[in-house]
Structure 1
Amino acid sequence: MLRSVNDCDFLRKLFPSFLRTATWDGRTRYRLYMGYDRGDRFYDRPARLLALRAAVAWRSRSLPVGLVVECCTGTTHAPCAVWNALFRRACDDGADFFYQLGDDVVLETVGWATAFPLVLETMAGVGVTGPLDRNNPRLLTQSFVSRTHMEIFGAYFPGAFRNWWSDDWITEVYQPDHLRPIPSQTVNNAGTGVRYEVDYAGAALLPREVAAGREVLARWLRARRGLDARG
């Protein structure tokens, strides 16, 4: 049972590892988007959110780090819906790149903040990159995209997925030409166990959603090539 904000995974795992591994070159600004379910027994309390903001401000000191906390409705057992809401909010705020992470993930390797954007730029922003998850190296369980991903798909993940199989989707939909993980960048996604009811229906939906996503991507690329040709 969590007794204070200092006990939460975000402050114990993700945020300290972010501070250790981010690139502080004076050119990159970071904004962390954190979502929680409306009615959450821990986070949905004004005093807790004030304490969380204070802890982030104190630990980051003068570093260029912002925090946006979003209360999400209808997202119980659906982290994909939370990521979609945060992705849209970040796009509306003008962010250029997006790192989709769980709050219990530990970032292990310095350099991701420069390496991931450079890889995406080699693909003109169209595609996905990300780290090697040492607990599941087969998939991009944590992924990194540019805002072009929103232009193409209108969301981070298809609404058909509530939790599992979303990482399969983003890995497969961009294969082979627009998938560029960086194995030298690693994360530890051991986490604290599954904190939601797994939606096993997503497994049956995966082939359909991957096929649909690939068609959306192909149409978008054809349209862009047409614009470039007329340019």
Structure 2
Amino acid sequence: MAAQMSLRQAGKLLALVALIVLAVRAVLNQPAASAPAPPASHVFGAPGAGRAPPAASATGALEFVGAVAEAASRAEAAAAARSAAVAEKLRAEQARAAVAPAPRTPSKAADPPDTRCAMLAKIRAAKESEIPDFKGSYLGRFPLAKMPALPATLKAEYDALSCDGVLKTLAAALAAADAAAPKADGPLGPRDECRAMMAKHSVAPGSSWGSLGPNGQRRWGSLRCDGLVKGAKNTPSKAAADRARKSTLPSSRQVTLETCPKSTEPLPLVAVCCGTTTRGKGGWITPRPDALEELAVFDHLLPSFVRTVDCGFRYAVVLGYDVGDKFWDLGDGATLARAWFDENVKSVLAAANVEAELRFAVVDNKIKKPGPVFTAITRHAYYEAKADYIYRVNDDTELATRWAKHFVAALATMDNVGAVGPMCKQGNRKILTHDFTHRKHMDIFEGTYYPPELSDWWMDDWISGVYGADRTLRGEVVEVVHHTGKHGQRYGVDKSHAGLLKGLLAGGSKKIQAYVAKSNAGIAQPPRGFSRFRAKLRR
């Protein structure tokens, strides 16, 4: 309509302008009353090439105005015709759309029914955030009645795919899966997480980490997974656990006890010293009387000790525990432990001509840290048992290879003045986390194995650095496995002790130098399988 108005107005305006121009020209062409008429050649040029006379010009102007008016009318009629054609085309397209709506773009034509139904249900969902995944079965969790109706253009597709039935089938499958999943701790509770780690990494609780890495092992310990999944239906069998262990760890289960020749000479005494407690960060650990293997010392340390002893030595196992421990001190733990040791360790080794005994050190451990226990058990080994060698380990340590002869040979290259240790891949590999010394170590430090100022982590750092790299050896031929996931960390760490380390190392080094100068202790090349070890201490 606007186009029609513009053409009509333009035509009228053009006609009016043309009429005015011609009228003005006609007036200008009339001769003046007092002036002579100029020659025709001066009015319009050369004779025969001039314009029509004034009378003829007026007539032409009228004809021109008429032509312009006629052209304007024709333009207006053409514009009206075009507008009518456009309107007719639009009415025809609307009519066709009403009879058959345009088909949906077939971008999802290849989608399987459950995926397409999920996409359609996404459109139905009142809140998209209610459905975390629109590619499959999560849709079944949401009742269809709670979703608004689909637009009419998609309703036919929804019905053709029988989406109600598809989504209900998915819902039933999810319900069955939910019913089979453990619910004791909720959908994401500790037990579920522990079982997921166990299934994914072939963890054998209390026996093997499988493929679980250090971070996973720490997570396992923090969740106390050993206790949560014990007895679960999907716990690997003993045979499966052994296979998993052999494929991932240098387990002592592959080492067989050898029968030793009887000796008429007194043999050197090796004291295996460890602290043990049933106090955990989450409360007391109470083993069943008929299942002492629920404690790490009976599950890892002592069974592996039996399998890995060397001939040529006597052995004493020194266990230290706190006054007030519910199992060891207030309960009958010590009695049960001795009976277990006599049956499973002492008698077995006696049959192989190896002498072994169990000793206890009861500690008034007011700070509830490893330091006082380590001091007590090593003093017991030195003063009471008269041990020639001291091997300080943990109750959750598994002795994976033979060790006594290797360690004794390594110390001998330093005239027994130094510290040696095994390879341990589960802990801090920049220091020695397990250490073996001669009784000369206690002589140098006046009957104290570690500085009493240190109570936890920094004891390892101290023993790893105090002798220096020349008198500290680590053996690749000796390995232990530290099963920290059995009970997890059972004490807090006093990090303020890091500030004491430098001074204690300096003081200890002076004592060692004085002893070496006095005893003239030499240094030879490390034995095969050992290398000098320079610790990277924590600061």
- Common fold: TM-score over 0.5: yes
Give 2:282's aligned residue. none
Inter-partner Cα distance in structure 1 for 2:287 and 2:488: 19
Query: What corresponds to 2:380 in structure 1?
Result: 89
Instruction: State the shift of 1:14 in Å.
Output: 0.6
Note if 1:108 corresponds to 2:400: yes
Structure 1 residue aligned with 2:295: 8
- CA–CA distance in 1 between the matches of 2:336 and 2:431? 35
What corresponds to 1:169 in structure 2? 462
Deviation of the 1:46 alpha carbon:
5.4
Q: Match for residue 371 of structure 2?
A: 80
Residue 101 of structure 2: aligned partner? none
Work out which of the residue numbers 406, 417, 423 in structure 2 matches 1:126: 417
Q: 1:30 aligns with which of 307, 315, 332?
A: 315
- Percent identity, aligned pairs only, is 32
- Choose which of 459, 463, 474 in structure 2 pairs with 1:181: 474
Q: Which residue of 2 aligns with 1:204?
A: 499
Higher Cα radius of gyration: 2
SS of 2:472's partner is: coil
- Letter aligned with residue 199 of structure 1: D
| 1:214 matched to 2:498 | no
Tell me, in whole angstroms, the C-alpha distance in 1 between the residues paired with 2:330 and 2:296.
17
- 2:503 counterpart letter in structure 1: R
Q: String of CA shifts for 1:66-122, please: whole Å, max 9, x gaps.
A: 000111013543212211111111112211001001101111112x11100111111
- Alignment correspondent of 1:229: none
One-letter amino acid of the counterpart of residue 145, structure 1: T
- The residue type paired with residue 177 of structure 1 is D
Q: Is the contact between residue 365 and residue 373 of structure 2 (CA under 8 Å) also seen in structure 1?
A: no
The CA distance in 2 between the partners of 1:106 and 1:224, in whole Å, is: 36
Residue by residue over 1:157-182, the C-alpha shift from the partner in whole angstroms, topping out at 9 and shown as x without a partner, is 00110111111100100112110111
Q: Is the 8 A contact 1:77 1:163 kept in 2?
A: no
Q: Are the equivalent residues in 2 in contact too, given 1:14–1:107 (CA < 8 A)?
A: yes
* Aligned counterparts of 1:200 and 1:32: Cα–Cα separation in 2: 30
The aligned counterpart of 1:138 is: 430
CA distance in 1 between counterparts of 2:441 and 2:305 reads 23
CA distance in 1, matches of 2:367, 2:304: 27
Residues 183 and 137 of structure 1: CA distance in aligned 2, closer, same or farther (over 3 Å): farther
Residue ranges of structure 2 left out of the alignment (5+ in a row): 1-284, 350-354, 522-539
Q: Distance in 2 between matches of 1:152 and 1:75?
A: 27
Whether the 8 Å contact between 1:77 and 1:198 is mirrored in structure 2 is no
Q: Secondary structure at the match of 2:419?
A: coil
* Superimposed CA distance per residue, residues 4-30 of structure 1 (whole angstroms, 9 cap, x where no aligned partner): 33321110111111111111x2x3110
Q: Which has the higher strand share?
A: 1
Whole-Å separation in 2 of the counterparts to 1:95 and 1:142: 18
Contact 2:363/2:376, CA 8 A, preserved across alignment: yes
CA deviation digits over 1:180-230, x for unaligned, max 9?
Answer: 11122111123132111111111111111111111111122222239xxxx
CA distance in 2, matches of 1:84, 1:46: 24
CA distance in 1, matches of 2:470, 2:287: 47
| One of 56, 74, 80 as aligned partner of 2:341 | 56
> How many aligned residue pairs are there?
223
The one-letter code matched in structure 2 to 1:84 is T
Structure 1 residue matching 2:469: 3-state secondary structure: coil
Query: 1:77, 1:162 within 8 Å by CA — same for their partners in 2?
Result: no
Matching residue of 1:68: 359
SS at match of 2:362: strand
The alignment status of 1:47 with 2:332, answered yes or no, reads: yes
What is the distance in 1 between the residues matched to 2:304 and 2:366? 27
Q: Secondary structure at the match of 1:216?
A: helix
Distance 2:358 2:366 in 1: 20
Q: Could you list the runs of 4 or more consecutive aligned residues of structure 1 that deviate by over 4 angstroms after TM superposition?
A: none
Q: Matches of 2:361 and 2:493 in 1, distance apart?
A: 23
Task: Work out the CA distance in 1 between the residues paired with 2:430 and 2:481.
Answer: 14
1:75–1:82 CA contact under 8 A, matched in 2: no
Structure with more helix by fraction = 2
**Take 2:303 and 2:518, find their aligned partners in 1: how far apart are those partners?**
42
Of the structure 1 ranges 167-176 and 184-193, higher mean CA displacement relative to structure 2 is found in: 184-193
* TM-score (normalised: structure 2): 0.40
RMSD, matched Cα: 1.6
Q: Is the 8 A contact 1:13 1:103 kept in 2?
A: yes
